[in-house]
Structures are given as C-alpha cells and as structure tokens.
C-alpha cells in the first residue's frame, strides 16, 4: 500500500514555497506540449495549402504560426530549466532537513539502541534512503501529475483520431510497467538482506583508512588481511547485484521491443489512412508526434507510479528508524531537579542486566551516599562499577529496585534538568577534534564563548592548564589530526581535558569513572590530593581501580560479581581484614616492589 503522505509532509516542511512553485510549473509544463502539437498540425496543413495554391502570399499566416510554435518551444525550455533549478534547491533543503531529523532522533534514542546490531542496520538504511527519498517521492508525484495532464490532452486527441490508437498506446507501455514493479520488489528484498554485509565492508574500510587503528594495522601487518576481507565482501555483493541487473536489463529489452512493435503498427495504420485520403498530411504528422509523445507521457506516468511504489518500499527504512521508541523518557508532570541536594543518593535493591542479556550485572545492591560525601566504588573488572555510573546518569534504568535522590525516584525527575545538574566523566570519554576552548566548554555549553576565565579555571582544576599553555596556540589549538592544523596529544592529556569538562559545570552531583587511569603517577596523585577540595559542597562518586588514590573517600563500596561485598571507610575496611584489605595490601606490595626495582 502506498503511504506517501509522510514523505510529502517532510518535503513541504523543509521547502514549502519551492515545493509549491515546482507543482505549479509542472502543471503548466504538462499542458504546453499539446499546444506545440496543435501548432505543428496547423503549420503542416497551412504549408500544404500554400504549395497546392501556388500563392506565396498565403505563407504569412504560416510564418506567424512558426513564430508562435517557436515561442512555445522556448517557454518549454525555460520552464524546464527553472524546474531543474527548483528541483535542485528543493533536494538540498530536503536532504539537510532529513539529516537534521535523523540526528535529533539519534540523540533522543536510548543508549541501549547503540548496543544492538539491529539498530545499526536500521540506522544505516535510514541514512542511505532518508536524505533523498522524500524529495524523490514529491518529484515523482509532480511528474505523475504532469504526465497525467499531458496524457489527458494527447489521449483525447488520439481518441478523436481513432479509439484504437489510444488502446495501442496503453498496451505498448504495460510490459515495461510490469518489469519495473517486479524488480522494485526484488531489489527491496535484496537491499534489506545485504545491509549487514554493507556495514561490515564499511567498517573494514574505516579500519583501513581511519587514524585510530593506523598504528596497530602497521605493527601487526593487518592491511593486506583487512583488504582481502573487504574485497571478498564487495565481490559477493557485486556478483549478486549484477545478477539482478542482468535479468532486469534482459526483461526491459524484451519490453522495449514489444513497445517498438506497437508504435510502428500504429504508424503503419496512420500512413494507410493518409494514403487513402482519410487523414491530411498535417493530421498524420500530428498523430505521429502525438503518439510518440503520448507513449513518452504514458510511460512516464506508469514509471512514475512504479517509482512511487519503489520509493514507498525503500522509504519505509527511514520510517522504521523514526518510529523507534525510547524507554528512557520523562514521566507525566516530572519533578524539577534541585540546585543542591538536601539528603543524598540511595540505591535501593537495584538490579540490572544490559538489554539483550539475561545475566545481571548488578544484583540487589543497596547503599546510601549522603549529601556532600565522596563515595569510592572499587572492584574487579566486570564487577559492575561503571554500570553504577551509567544508572546514576540515567543512561539506563534499573530492571529491579530504584534509585532515589532526595527521597524522589530518579525516574521522576525531568531528564534534561537532571543531566544539566549532573557532571559526569565516563571511562570511555570522548575526544572532540575541536579547539581546547571548545573541548572544555562542551561540558557546559551555557558558558559564553568569550568567558575565558571559567574555561581556564576548569582546566586548572583538572591539571590541564600547564600543558595547554605549551601548545602552539594555547587554548585555541585544535586537538586531534582530523582537521587542518590539528595537534595530537597524549591519552593522559586527553583525559585531563575530559576532566576539565566536568569542572566546567557547577553541578551538585559529580560522577567520575576512572578519571585518572591514563595520567602519569604525579598527575594522578595531584588530582586526588585536591579532590576533596575540588568537590567541596558536592556529592561525588569516584570509580577507580587504584586503591591508594581513593582511601580518603568518606565511603568506600567494594563490589564482587555485581554485589556489594563490603563498605565503609578505608580504616574500617582495613580493620575487617576482608576483601578490601586483601586487595589494598596486594596493590601496595606491587607498587613497593616496583619502586625497589627502580
């Protein structure tokens, strides 16, 4: 079933006046060919009379008809050029608008979608089809209407000459129409099937050409192997597509042959009619041109319908993406998040499993962080430390239990307000290839671009100010090698910039997931020495695997296989001689041995 209303609405939202102008021009362009045909008939008949009468004075009316026909032809060309410009302008606006819609939808979706391969297949197809299909549908509708109006005029003319001409005209284009509809469905199914392979090939191409993996690819000599995998996938896709195209072109050739036979059958009959005096020469010329143009318009009309059918199939990929529903969303009448906490944060029997997995990463964990406290979360890899940060950031919701802030369920707060008043640094922080200024300002985009004081204050808190001042352009230096004049910095320096984003925001809750894991020992020591001062008046959660750096925390929570194994202060946990004491002692022994060997 054709559902074109959404596509038309998209196009008119993106470029309303251009779309309206294009529609009006198409209607005018559809009627002009009939005027041209009729003028040709008058010219031929008039010229025949002049030749038969031998009076050259009768030529002037014919000359005026030629001038008028020329003006009609010029008008057609001008309208065609104007229509082409409007179509180009409309296409650009629609493409930009659709990409904007795609980007907004991508940002709205839950993080869980980004961990599901089906989502990436849906996104890939939406990115491929979305930017141009809506505009193509509107252009197709316009062409269908234009061809329809031309057909009404030319079809009426052919019916006037003989009803059989109109019938042959219809029969001549039906084979091509059938072929188009058939292969639209075949291509649609094949395109859906090939998406995972297309994405895999794109990933391999990114590995081979992108900067992040360039060093390892050379060190492990992986270039040839990845290139081989890429070529194998592309070869498979190419063979499949060429197989479909081979069958399609063969069928189209047979359909074209049938159409040509129909045209010359009609032409033969017209010649016979003219030869027996039942048609004038002008009538025959007009018939021939009308039949040819009629075939063109009828073929355009039916192919337009087939194109709309095909576009309707393929744009469903775009709609599939837009129709994805998020689960992390505001409740009705959400609560405003406070500027400062009154009591604190409570995890109440919280359990969590990542989407698509039945294994629980967190199992009935409960703890409380009072207002103004700094809580350290420690544990082995995979114990659920980072998951706590993601739940408290509301990137996910617990599957069981609840998280409360100031005795209000976290789900009841307005998401945008809550995130605005929460400063988070995740373990896998982003590296933005912008200037240092912009990198830090992204932590709080409400900061005025000209307010250098707040940017530098955040950098100083994160220990980034000194190395930034040594960069060629200081805070105006572009980081990373993606753009012109960009400069690469070390992983530890990137981490300091990411930490500065946290300090650029005045937030009552601060969540730091391995905030110094890539920094050198001295930088890490200096950061944690002043952490209490930096987080004064804030409630903080620090996730770390280095015990010595967080022993000054007000509370330490030790996770073991998704459960709270023990909690307390550094001193109380050392006295218990439990898991924390064992891990702490072993880590200190490793550092001591390392210092001895040095």
Contact between 497 and 464 (Cβ < 8 Å): yes
pLDDT at position 596: 46
Whether 2 shows a pLDDT value over 60: the answer reads no
Taking the C-alpha atoms of residue 360 and residue 100, their distance in angstroms, rounded to an integer, is: 37
The owner of tokens 């959660």 is 541
Whether pTM exceeds 0.85: no
* Pairing of the two strands 539-543 and 509-513: parallel
Q: What is the mean pLDDT of residues 528-549?
A: 84
Contact between 112 and 394 (Cβ < 8 Å): no
How many other CB atoms are found less than 10 A from the CB of residue 111?
A: 15
Tallying the residues shown for the chain, one arrives at 598
Of 511, 513, 508, 512, which is closest to residue 537 (Cα–Cα)? 508
Taking the C-alpha atoms of residue 323 and residue 471, their distance in angstroms, rounded to an integer, is: 46
pLDDT (tens digit, 9 = 90+) per residue, 18-55?
A: 878 877 887 777 667 777 777 777 777 777 777 777 66
Sheet holding 374-379, edge to edge: 422-425, 509-513, 539-543, 374-379, 555-560, 563-568
Give residue 364's region: left, alpha or beta (phi > 0; psi -120 to 50): left
Whether 162 shows a pLDDT value over 80: the answer reads no
Of 190, 525, 143, which is closest to residue 301 (Cα–Cα)? 143
pLDDT (tens digit, 9 = 90+) per residue, 124-155?
A: 777 777 776 776 776 677 777 777 766 666 66
Taking the C-alpha atoms of residue 376 and residue 553, their distance in angstroms, rounded to an integer, is: 6
Q: What percent of the chain clears pLDDT 70, i.e. is strictly above it? A: 87
Taking the C-alpha atoms of residue 384 and residue 363, their distance in angstroms, rounded to an integer, is: 9
Taking the C-alpha atoms of residue 413 and residue 543, their distance in angstroms, rounded to an integer, is: 24
Whether 413 shows a pLDDT value over 90: the answer reads yes
Higher pLDDT, 93 or 238: 238
Q: What is the mean pLDDT of residues 311-335?
A: 82
Of 159, 119, 523, 459, which is closest to residue 321 (Cα–Cα)? 119
User: What is the DSSP track for 292-348?
Assistant: HHHHHHHHHHHHHHHHHHHHHHHHHHHHHHHT---SS-PPSSPBPPPSS-SSEEEEE
Q: What is the CA radius of gyration of the chain?
A: 36
Q: How far apart are the first and last CA of the chain?
A: 75
Residue 441: is it exposed, middle or buried by C-beta count within 10 angstroms (0-12/13-18/19+)? buried
Taking the C-alpha atoms of residue 176 and residue 303, their distance in angstroms, rounded to an integer, is: 8
The answer to whether the Cα torsion of 74, 80, 86, 92 is positive or negative is negative
What does the DSSP 8-state code read for residue 128?
H
The owner of tokens 């933005």 is 432
Residue 95: is it exposed, middle or buried by C-beta count within 10 angstroms (0-12/13-18/19+)? middle
pLDDT (tens digit, 9 = 90+) per residue, 449-474?
A: 778 889 999 999 999 999 999 999 99
Of 121, 259, 301, 104, which is closest to residue 202 (Cα–Cα)? 121
pLDDT (tens digit, 9 = 90+) per residue, 289-309?
A: 666 676 676 677 777 777 777
Q: What is the mean pLDDT of residues 212-241?
A: 84
Taking the C-alpha atoms of residue 211 and residue 164, their distance in angstroms, rounded to an integer, is: 67
Whether 6 shows a pLDDT value over 80: the answer reads no
How many other CB atoms are found less than 10 A from the CB of residue 597?
A: 6
Highest mean pLDDT among 40-54, 117-131, 249-263, 319-333: 319-333
Domains of the chain: 3-323 (1.20.1560.10), 372-595 (3.40.50.300)
SS3 413: strand
Taking the C-alpha atoms of residue 285 and residue 268, their distance in angstroms, rounded to an integer, is: 13
């Amino acid at each position: 079933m054709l559902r074109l209303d959404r596509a038309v609405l998209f196009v008119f939202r993106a470029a309303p006046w251009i779309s309206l102008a294009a529609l009006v021009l198409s209607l005018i362009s559809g009627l002009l060919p009939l005027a041209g045909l009729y003028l040709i008939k008058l010219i031929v008949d008039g010229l025949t009379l002049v030749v038969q009468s031998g009076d050259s004075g009768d030529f002037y009316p014919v000359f005026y008809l030629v001038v008028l026909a020329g003006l009609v032809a010029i008008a057609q060309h001008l309208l065609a050029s104007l229509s082409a410009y409007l179509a180009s302008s409309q296409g650009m606006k629609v493409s930009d608008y659709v990409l904007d819609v795609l980007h907004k939808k991508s940002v709205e979706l839950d993080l869980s979608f980004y961990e599901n391969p089906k989502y990436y297949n849906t996104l890939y197809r939406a990115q491929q089809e979305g930017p141009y299909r809506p505009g193509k549908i509107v252009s197709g509708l316009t062409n269908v209407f234009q061809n329809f109006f031309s057909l009404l005029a030319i079809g009426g003319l052919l019916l006037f000459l003989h009803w059989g001409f109109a019938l042959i005209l219809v029969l001549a284009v039906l084979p091509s129409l059938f072929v188009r509809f058939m292969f639209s469905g075949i291509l649609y199914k094949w395109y859906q099937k090939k998406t995972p392979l297309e994405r895999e090939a794109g990933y391999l191409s990114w590995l081979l050409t992108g900067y992040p993996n360039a060093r390892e690819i050379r060190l492990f000599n992986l270039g040839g192997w990845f290139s081989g995998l890429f070529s194998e996938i592309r070869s498979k896709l190419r063979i499949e597509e060429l197989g479909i195209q081979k069958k399609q072109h063969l069928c189209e050739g047979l359909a074209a042959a049938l159409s040509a036979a129909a045209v010359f059958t009609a032409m033969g009959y017209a010649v016979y009619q003219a030869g027996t005096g039942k048609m004038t020469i002008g009538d025959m010329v007009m018939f021939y041109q009308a039949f040819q143009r009629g075939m063109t318009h009828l073929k355009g009309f039916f192919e337009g319908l087939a194109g709309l059918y095909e576009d309707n199939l393929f744009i469903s990929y775009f709609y599939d993406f837009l129709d994805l529903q998020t689960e992390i969303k505001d409740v009705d009448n959400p609560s405003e998040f406070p500027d400062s906490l009154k009591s604190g944060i409570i995890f109440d029997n919280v359990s969590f499993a990542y989407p698509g997995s039945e294994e629980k990463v967190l199992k009935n964990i409960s703890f409380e962080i009072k207002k103004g406290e700094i809580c350290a979360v420690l544990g082995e890899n995979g114990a659920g430390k980072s998951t706590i940060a993601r739940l408290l950031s509301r990137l996910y919701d617990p599957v069981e239990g609840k998280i409360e802030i100031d005795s209000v369920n976290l789900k009841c707060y307005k998401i945008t307000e809550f995130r605005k008043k929460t400063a988070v640094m995740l373990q896998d922080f982003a590296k933005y290839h912008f200037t240092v200024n912009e990198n830090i300002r992204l932590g709080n985009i409400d900061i005025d671009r000209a307010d250098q004081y707040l940017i530098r204050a955040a950098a100083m808190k994160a220990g980034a100010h000194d190395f930034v001042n040594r960069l060629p352009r200081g805070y105006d230096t572009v980081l990373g090698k993606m753009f012109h004049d960009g400069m690469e910095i070390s992983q530890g320096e990137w981490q300091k910039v990411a930490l500065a984003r946290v300090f650029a925001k005045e937030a009552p809750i601060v969540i730091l997931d391995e905030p110094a894991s890539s920094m050198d020992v001295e930088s890490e020591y200096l950061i944690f020495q002043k952490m209490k001062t930096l987080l004064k008046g804030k409630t903080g959660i620090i996730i770390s695997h280095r015990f010595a750096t967080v022993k000054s925390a007000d509370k330490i929570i030790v996770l073991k296989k998704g459960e709270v194994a023990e909690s307390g202060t550094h001193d109380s946990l050392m006295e218990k001689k439990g898991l924390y004491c064992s891990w702490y002692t072993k880590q200190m022994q490793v550092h001591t041995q390392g210092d001895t060997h040095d």
